[in-house]
Amino acid sequence: MTANGKTPEADGQVYDAVAGNWVDHLAPPWSRPLLRLSRADRAIGTWLLLLPCWWGVLLAAASTGWRWFDLWIMAGCAIGSWVMRGAGCTWNDITDRDFDAQVARTKSRPIPSGQISVKGAAIWMGVQALIGLAVLVTFNGAAILMGVLSILPVLVYPFAKRFTYWPQVFLGLAFNWGALLAWVAHTGTLGAPAVFLYLSGIAWTIFYDTIYAHQDKEDDALIGVKSTALLFGARTHQILQLFMILAVVLMGLAVVAALIPGAGMVKLALAFAGVVAFGAHMRWQLGRLDTGDNDLCLRLFWANRTTGLLPALFFAAAVFV
């Protein structure tokens, strides 16, 4: 039985999928291996890819003014995040299929469990990437270029744990690229606020993905792959506190660069309230974290949807005051 009370080997469910998710219960049976490859049974990854996009477009709009096309940027980023997260996860599962077969949490994934072939997974990855491209080409030329460049960290990430204890940095490079892309989609140029948001997101990713990686540290050590969970070990709380502070400071610098001078005090106060809420939620996670409790690590990882939504909501409020 799994932590969610399921037996994935019996019905194809993936070990760490959310209990009662729509893929396992509502999706047509033929589509379930594809959707499981895309992690559609776990929405958290889509949120973690999408939220930096929304930071970027909303902070840009708070700085230079709201445009109706920003609604499409936000919607397009949502669609793109869903399909490109799916394509990235499919690529990850293709490259990691041998490792996944040796780890308790991942051996029930579609490729190592035999639900789909590598060829079938590769075709599905291509379909998702084409949908993402169709969305991307509706943005301006600079944003299209940013989107094309985003492929590089996505391609590298699955291999990072083979050669460095810092694969979470490579995940951060990939997962927060949307802060740059969405800012450029709004403004047409890359600015310092977007770079600060991007760096803040990378620090945040190291924070949440280290918590996530603690679930696998014993298996990772046995099969010889690396992670910040293994590197930090007993010092995890102290080091994650440093990354929490770094994420907050960098997001604060993004707000300063975007809104000073020119923005009114109310806009500035709302944006900084989002930064404070962002940090407070990470601090709450640290206060609860027990790296020896795998179920708790997973729940805290899932809680980062709220962590990233908080600044997005305050940035949105700053747009319209």
Burial of 293 (0-12, 13-18, 19+ CB in 10 A): middle
Structure-model confidence comparison of residues 103 and 198, the more confident one: 198
Structure confidence at residue 254 as a pLDDT band (50, 70, 90): very high
What is the amino acid identity at position 300?
A: L
Give this prediction's pTM: 0.91
Q: Which two tokens stand for residue 179?
A: 């802060």
Structure confidence at residue 198 as a pLDDT band (50, 70, 90): very high
Residue 10: is its pLDDT beyond 60? Answer: no
What is the predicted pLDDT for the residue at 216?
A: 83
DSSP characters over 227-282: -HHHHHGGGHHHHHHHHHHHHHHHHHHHHHHHHTTTS-HHHHHHHHHHHHHHHHHH
The whole-angstrom separation of Cα 217 and Cα 288 is 19
- pLDDT (tens digit per residue) in 146-197: 999 999 999 998 889 889 999 999 999 999 999 999 999 999 999 999 999 9
- pLDDT (tens digit per residue) in 238-247: 999 999 999 9
- Residue 170 neighbours by CB under 8 Å, 6+ apart: 153, 156, 157, 160, 164
Structure-model confidence comparison of residues 1 and 92, the more confident one: 92
If you average pLDDT over residues 208-227, what whole number do you get? 88
Query: In this structure, which CATH number among 3.30.413.10, 1.25.40.10, 1.10.357.140, 1.10.540.10 belongs to the domain 23-319?
Result: 1.10.357.140
Lowest-pLDDT choice from 25-39, 52-66, 131-145, 222-236: 25-39
Structure confidence at residue 11 as a pLDDT band (50, 70, 90): low
If you average pLDDT over residues 269-288, what whole number do you get? 98
Answer yes or no: are the C-beta atoms of 129 and 148 closer than 8 Å.
Answer: no
Q: Which two tokens stand for residue 128?
A: 């998702």
Bond preceding residue 261 cis, omega within 30 of 0: yes
If you average pLDDT over residues 61-83, what whole number do you get? 96
What is the predicted pLDDT for the residue at 37?
A: 86
Whose CA is closest to 186, among 278, 59, 282? 59
Lowest-pLDDT choice from 8-17, 200-209, 226-235: 8-17
- Where do the structural domains in the chain lie, given as residue ranges? 23-319
Residue 1: is its pLDDT beyond 80? Answer: no
DSSP characters over 282-301: HHHHHHH--TT-HHHHHHHH
Instruction: Find the farthest-apart pair of alpha carbons in the chain and give their distance in angstroms, rounded.
Output: 60
Average model confidence (pLDDT) for the chain? 91
- Residue 143 neighbours by CB under 8 Å, 6+ apart: 136, 181, 182, 184, 185
Structure confidence at residue 16 as a pLDDT band (50, 70, 90): low
The whole-angstrom separation of Cα 305 and Cα 188 is 28
